[in-house]
Amino acid sequence: MTDQDTLPAASPFSSIDAVVQALQGAGYYADRRLATAVFLALKLQRPLLLEGEPGVGKTELAKALSTALSRELLRLQCYDGLEQREALYEWNYAAQLLHMRAAEAQGISTDVESEVYQPRYLIRRPLLQALQAPAPGAVLLIDEVDRADEPFEAFLLEYLGEYQVSIPELGTIRALVPPVTILTSNRTRELNDAVKRRCLYHWLDYPERERELAIVRAQVPQASATLSEQIANFVGRLRSTPFASAFQRGPGIAESVEWAKALVALDTIELDPEIVVDTAGILFKQRDDVAALTHAMATDLLKPAEEAAP
Ligand SMILES: Nc1ncnc2c1ncn2[C@@H]1O[C@H](COP(=O)(O)OP(=O)(O)O)[C@@H](O)[C@H]1O
Ligand SMILES: [Mg+2]
């Protein structure tokens, strides 16, 4: 028997369909390509890098995966200026100082330095928590990594490649169980090639109509069947040519769901151009985009949706 046999199975999923099912059980609707990426990331124990527009379900996938796997979710939200000590660990200076004072007061002349750099004075941040999580291990979400700076990306390489980190005072800390690691990027900038090479890559697109409809139905069951279908059609068309070019940022899935909730709150049974224009502030978060959705465009967008239904 090798070490490999005693380790927990890399993936509890025997097939891609099983991934689809498990995610759906956690309220997440994945298409086959995404489920394949997840299946492989688990099987090969590789980090998964998800890129896509805001609101396409990148963050939500990590949450759903943690539910589906019954693994704790650890989340590292990236931002400009994020430092290692917020991602990995920092020393609890106050406690270290107290320890040193106490040692002084008692006149103990031991090797104080080695005493204060013990694991118990370590404040563990998400990366270290993920490495040290007991079985079955954690899901680590490194969210919006494009917001962090390049030195931070470089710092991630050791973790992403080997599931280990080096702490000068303590040495190398290796994962007990490789954490399921999801990185997301809104692609505000290109990520370093070295990061990409260590990850499986998946571009997460807006959902196709059927999947968006399923999400709206699941999250807003009070919406009428007609309304849900109209929302899925309308939003889908808004994001495609020629309409998409009129807007700076198309609505994400979150906006579709919000819109459905708002329309239900307004007792809407069916969409019409007036209600679309009146509620445009839910679909778009920018003033120019709200203004760009005119009555005429709404009329245009609603027409084919109605005719298209067989
Ligand atoms: N595939 C999906 N299945 C179910 N809900 C989804 C899905 N994708 C997105 N959502 C919904 O859309 C919202 C926004 O998704 P989110 O993961 O925050 O987007 P991103 O991280 O890509 O910006 C989520 O809170 C969730 O309610
Ligand atoms: Mg997100």
For ligand 1, residues with CB inside 6 Å are 27-30, 52, 54-60, 184, 215, 252-254, 257
Mind listing the pLDDT tens digit for each residue in 60-71?
999 999 999 999
Question: Given strand 138-143, what is the order of strands in its sheet?
Answer: 72-77, 138-143, 180-185, 48-51, 200-203
Closest CA to 223 of 256, 194, 185: 256
d(CA 154, CA 156): 5
Q: Which residues are in the CB-under-5-Å shell of ion ligand 2?
A: 59
Question: Mutation test of ligand 1: which of 21, 60, 73 has the most ligand atoms closer than 8 Å to its C-beta?
Answer: 60
| Ligand (nearest to CA of 258) | 1
Closest CA to 168 of 131, 113, 112: 113
Instruction: Compute, in angstroms, the gap from residue 59 CA to the centroid of ligand 2.
Output: 4
Mind listing the pLDDT tens digit for each residue in 150-198?
999 999 999 999 999 998 888 999 998 999 999 999 999 999 999 999 9
Ligand 1, atom 16: closest residue by C-alpha = 57
| Ligand (nearest to CA of 53) | 1
70: alpha, beta or left? (left if phi > 0; alpha if psi -120 to 50):
left
Mind listing the pLDDT tens digit for each residue in 31-90?
999 999 999 999 999 999 999 999 999 999 999 999 999 999 999 999 999 999 999 999
| DSSP string computed for 143-183 | ETGGGS-HHHHHHHHHHHHHSEEEETTTEEEE-SSPPEEEE
Confidence of residue 6 (pLDDT cuts 50, 70, 90): very low
Parallel, antiparallel or unpaired: strands 122-124 and 89-91: antiparallel
Instruction: Compute, in angstroms, the gap from residue 119 CA to the centroid of ligand 1.
Output: 37
- Of the given ranges (105-119, 144-158, 175-189, 233-247), which has the lowest mean pLDDT? 105-119
Any idea what the Cα angle at residue 41 is, between residues 3 and 1, rounded to 5°? 15
Instruction: Compute, in angstroms, the gap from residue 102 CA to the centroid of ligand 1.
Output: 51
Q: For residue 57, what are the CA distances in angstroms to 71, 163, 177, 220?
A: 19, 25, 26, 17
Three-class secondary structure of residue 200 per DSSP: strand
Question: Mutation test of ligand 1: which of 49, 215, 253 has the most ligand atoms closer than 8 Å to its C-beta?
Answer: 253
CB atoms within 10 A of CB 251: 25
- Percent of the chain clearing pLDDT 90 (strictly above): 83
**Helix, strand, coil percentages for the chain (3-state, nearest 5):** 55, 15, 35
| Ligand (nearest to CA of 27) | 1
Ligand 1, atom 8: closest residue by C-alpha = 57
Beta bridge partners of 225: none
Three-class secondary structure of residue 103 per DSSP: helix
Q: What are phi and psi of 24, to 5 degrees?
A: -65, -35
Instruction: Compute, in angstroms, the gap from residue 300 CA to the centroid of ligand 2.
Output: 31
Instruction: Compute, in angstroms, the gap from residue 306 CA to the centroid of ligand 2.
Output: 32
Predicted confidence at residue 129, as pLDDT, reads 96
Ligand 1, atom 10: closest residue by C-alpha = 57
Q: pTM for this structure? A: 0.90
Q: What is the CA radius of gyration of the chain?
A: 24
Asked if the model's pLDDT at residue 204 lies above 60, the reply is yes
- Cα distance from N-terminal residue to C-terminal residue, the chain: 60
Q: Mean pLDDT over all residues of the chain?
A: 92
Asked if the model's pLDDT at residue 102 lies above 70, the reply is yes
Mind listing the pLDDT tens digit for each residue in 250-292?
999 999 999 999 999 999 999 999 999 999 999 999 999 999 9
Three-class secondary structure of residue 83 per DSSP: coil
- Percent of the chain clearing pLDDT 70 (strictly above): 94
Predicted confidence at residue 1, as pLDDT, reads 40
